[in-house]
Chains A and B, each alone.
Chain A
Amino acid sequence: MANSQRRITKELAEVTSDPPAGVTVSLANESNVHEWNIMMDGPPGTPYAGGKFKLLLVLPTDYPFKAPTLNFKTKIWHPNVTFDEKGSMCLGMLKGDVWKPSSKIMSILTAAQQLLVEPNPDDAVEASIAQKFKEDKAGFIKEAQEYTKKYAN
């Protein structure tokens, strides 16, 4: 798996040297390049603004042939993220049949950010939140802000 390690270190260097705005990346464990800690600021103009979200990116051993997984370690109230300890995120490009080895981690991070800006209620993992997002936008924003204050500080 030397091959995957080389690619991962390459991507890590790329992301750390030129990260997307509001994102910082570090290794969860210096000896293991397969687990990345990601600190993501809530994008401004969203109910998550001002919050700092911690995510864990796990790269499989056969990366890039298998998609990585991205989990919110900080609880976030969002239609596409499970509102539990796991914080599983439903990101289209990370699905097994959509993932392409040519996709890069940089694009995953920007996609995650984009998902915070534009939730996708049609492909939600938290149906109640999605329903609220669709039917009561103001209420959704307010509630999301509250949870952001509560957990993401």
Chain B
Amino acid sequence: MSMYANVPSQPWLSSPPTFSRRTTTTSPPLSPASPTSPTRSGRLRGLSYLRTYTQQHLLSRESNSHSSSNSRPNLGGRATSYPSPSSSNRASAPRSPLSPVIPPSPTQATPNRTTSPTAQRSTTELSPPDSIAPTSGWLPTVGGQSGVSRIGTEPQSTVADAPSALLSSNATSSGITPDLSASMARTRSETAGGATDISRNETQDDMSQSANAASNANGNATSQLPSIRFIQHQDPRAQRPSLAFSPMARILPTGKETIKVGRYSEREAQPVQPVNVPSAAPVGFKSKVVSRRHCEFWCAQGKWYIKDVKSSSGTFLNHIRLSSPNTESRPFPINDGDIVQLGIDFKGGEEMIFRCVKIRVELNKGWQNGPTSFNVASHKRLREMMANQSKAGGNGTSQDCSICLGPIQPCQSLFVAPCSHTWHYKCIRTIINGPHWPHFQCPNCRMVADLEADLDDVAMDGEWEDYKASETDEPVVPPAAVNRAERQSSTVATNGSENTESMLAAVLSANSNHTTEQPAEQADIDSEVPSDDYDAGIEETAEEFENLHIHGSAESESSTVLTSAHTTTRPVDIVRKQNSSAVSNGVGSGSISGPGRSCTPSPVAIDGMGPMTPRNDIGPFVFDGTAGRIAASTGTGHSAMNLDSAASVPQAIPESSIET
């Protein structure tokens, strides 16, 4: 094995001129590994930027890639074939060491991918892109294309076969093969990228720790029921809007149910239920292009899956059709934020009834609606504010919304007037948007506010500043939140980790010699493949973010190296290490067990932030930058971890809030 590793690494490094810069950058971490760590914060910021960029442009990109479907098949073919040119032996050899690691890799791969197909694919050949792909808008194109082509054009068989073959070649990993093949069936890339990363990164101690965390997490996971929410998605580039529907949410009562999606029928119409009641009722859409039985969603081990059930007009996951007409597809894992499209516009989609359905799925977000230390604290602050207000001479009625007379509670959308009177936004909306806009007369105290007023004009006297300062003293990240985050991450991690653990250990022992070299090798490979695909615009951006890209790729592919770098160069406190390991495991296991859940709360939650939304832990009324300070205090420690998670969890934006 050592021979294999060495041989490929050298030639590849030198060969690709375009990516020479990247390769070089990656290489340093391999040998000394230390250089990466110091730069982190800066890179992190860049990553966050990338992430936001992705969020804004990823979808459109994907659509682009989709439109340019011609290129995809080629790419896919290329990507798969790529290793072969060197020689079948060679190609298989370098990979084989990786393959044993496979179980962990799924964790990383799954959380990473915005689009499940992309991520899976990317891990195999283009490990750097896939890790980055979710984060950066520009990479996804490449990754997405290749991913698409891969998944779309190439059945799993290729993937499954290849790894197994590789495995067989590896004498050491043979024992692992069955497990691996199962996991690998989904993506070869995952195995290679993720497995290698984890195995190299973590010492056995870390792994055991992570395993423990994972097992603990499982118990907690059961308390949280899997949930899914269907939200209308409007593609900004689409010619015409997709079917309009109001958000629908389902919480699986036992977690075993399957949610059937099909055409809405009056007969099966479900009585409207409160959103928070567990139910696995079928979901119906009033569109002719949706088959009566169209697709199904279910959750297994915290991970959500989708399957086309012989729909006639197709189910599309992030623009990739899952199966040909009237055939059932295999299960595809889905991630939070994925776009699922049912059918295609018929008759030009002129009439609403002929429009396709585009759904943005939100997975396992239930924890965001529960009482958390953050929203409870901010709500308490709000109550105090209102209490003071009413004492000051308002009508001392109550903290209820004076429009609906209902209580004002956490997790409600509120409107707070300058006079500090507060209502449900839904209730006060008619007044806000009334004929007097932008002037708003408080229905409680008749104070008139100019809602368009320049925010800088608010006069701040010293008293108010003092008040603000005192307010901010409160602890920002409550322990409860952290606990929860940890719990969740651990839950996510559980399944995969145990299996992986043993395998990893085996791999580590076997590969220990090569670990440093292989990641570099992989990085090279990755860089090469995508380079062809890049268009000029992408390249530009790539150069801009070169550092980021490198860093990200290094993270994703050679996470081992990086982690080792952390540990060696910087003293890392144990807690952090545990977390990171848990995260990585969680990610890896997530692909197997449930990436949706894992990716959502796990890594970022440690910082007290949600996956998608930047969270201001100080509360809505304080804007003095304490958030940044807090992040700084906790942030250094976590930044490394965040990076890992950032690479693995593409959609988490929170860094930006932390950094700024």
Tell which of B219-227, B305-313, B352-360, B423-431 binds the partner.
Answer: B423-431
Nearest residue (CB) in A for B402 is: A102
Verify A101–B431 contact, CB threshold 8 A.
yes
- Is A3 at the interface (CB under 8 A from chain B)? yes
- Is B443 at the interface (CB under 8 A from chain A)? yes
A101 to B431, CA, bound (A): 10
Verify B426–A102 contact, CB threshold 8 A.
no
- Is B246 at the interface (CB under 8 A from chain A)? no
- Is B68 at the interface (CB under 8 A from chain A)? no
Verify A102–B397 contact, CB threshold 8 A.
yes
Verify A7–B403 contact, CB threshold 8 A.
yes
- Is A64 at the interface (CB under 8 A from chain B)? yes
- Is A134 at the interface (CB under 8 A from chain B)? no
A101 to B397, CA, bound (A): 13
Verify A62–B430 contact, CB threshold 8 A.
yes
User: Which residues in B have their C-beta under 8 angstroms from that of A102?
Assistant: 395, 397, 402-403, 443-444
Verify B426–A7 contact, CB threshold 8 A.
no
A64 to B400, CA, bound (A): 15
User: Which residues in A have their C-beta under 8 angstroms from that of B275?
Assistant: none
- Is B248 at the interface (CB under 8 A from chain A)? no
A142 to B297, CA, bound (A): 79
User: Which residues in B have their C-beta under 8 angstroms from that of A151?
Assistant: none
Pick from A3, A65, A104: contact of B431, CB under 8 Å = A65
Pick from B395, B406, B426, B443: contact of A101, CB under 8 Å = B443
Nearest residue (CB) in A for B434 is: A65
1/0 per position for A1-14, CB-CB distance to B under 8 A? 00100110011000
Pick from A7, A62, A100: contact of B404, CB under 8 Å = A7
Verify B402–A101 contact, CB threshold 8 A.
yes
Pick from A3, A6, A10, A100: contact of B443, CB under 8 Å = A100
Pick from B402, B404, B431: contact of A6, CB under 8 Å = B404
Nearest residue (CB) in A for B424 is: A3
- Is B269 at the interface (CB under 8 A from chain A)? no
User: Which residues in A have their C-beta under 8 angstroms from that of B426?
Assistant: 3
User: Which residues in A have their C-beta under 8 angstroms from that of B427?
Assistant: 3
CB of A5, distance to nearest CB on chain B (Å): 10
Verify A3–B404 contact, CB threshold 8 A.
yes
CB of B392, distance to nearest CB on chain A (Å): 16
The residue in A3, A6, A101 that gathers the most chain B C-beta atoms within 10 A of its C-beta is: A101
Nearest residue (CB) in B for A101 is: B443
A65 to B404, CA, bound (A): 11
1/0 per position for A88-125, CB-CB distance to B under 8 A? 00000000000011101000000000000000000000
User: Which residues in B have their C-beta under 8 angstroms from that of A104?
Assistant: 405
B-facing residues in A5-34 (Cβ within 8 Å): 6-7, 10-11
A14 to B406, CA, bound (A): 13
CB of A60, distance to nearest CB on chain B (Å): 13
Nearest residue (CB) in A for B441 is: A100
A104 to B426, CA, bound (A): 19
- Is B446 at the interface (CB under 8 A from chain A)? yes
CB of A111, distance to nearest CB on chain B (Å): 14
A62 to B443, CA, bound (A): 14
Are A7 and B431 also in contact (CB < 8 A) when A100-B446, A101-B443 are?
A: no
3 nearest A-B pairs in the assembled complex, by CB-CB distance: A102-B402, A101-B443, A102-B444
Q: List 22 A-B contacts (CB under 8 A).
A: A3-B403, A3-B404, A3-B426, A6-B404, A7-B403, A7-B404, A7-B405, A10-B404, A10-B405, A10-B406, A62-B430, A65-B430, A65-B431, A100-B443, A100-B446, A101-B402, A101-B431, A101-B443, A102-B395, A102-B397, A102-B402, A102-B443
B interface with A by C-beta (< 8 Å): 395, 397, 402-406, 426-427, 430-431, 443-444, 446
Extra pairs beyond A3-B427, A102-B444 (12, CB < 8 Å): A3-B404, A3-B426, A7-B403, A7-B404, A7-B405, A10-B404, A10-B405, A100-B444, A101-B403, A101-B431, A102-B397, A102-B403
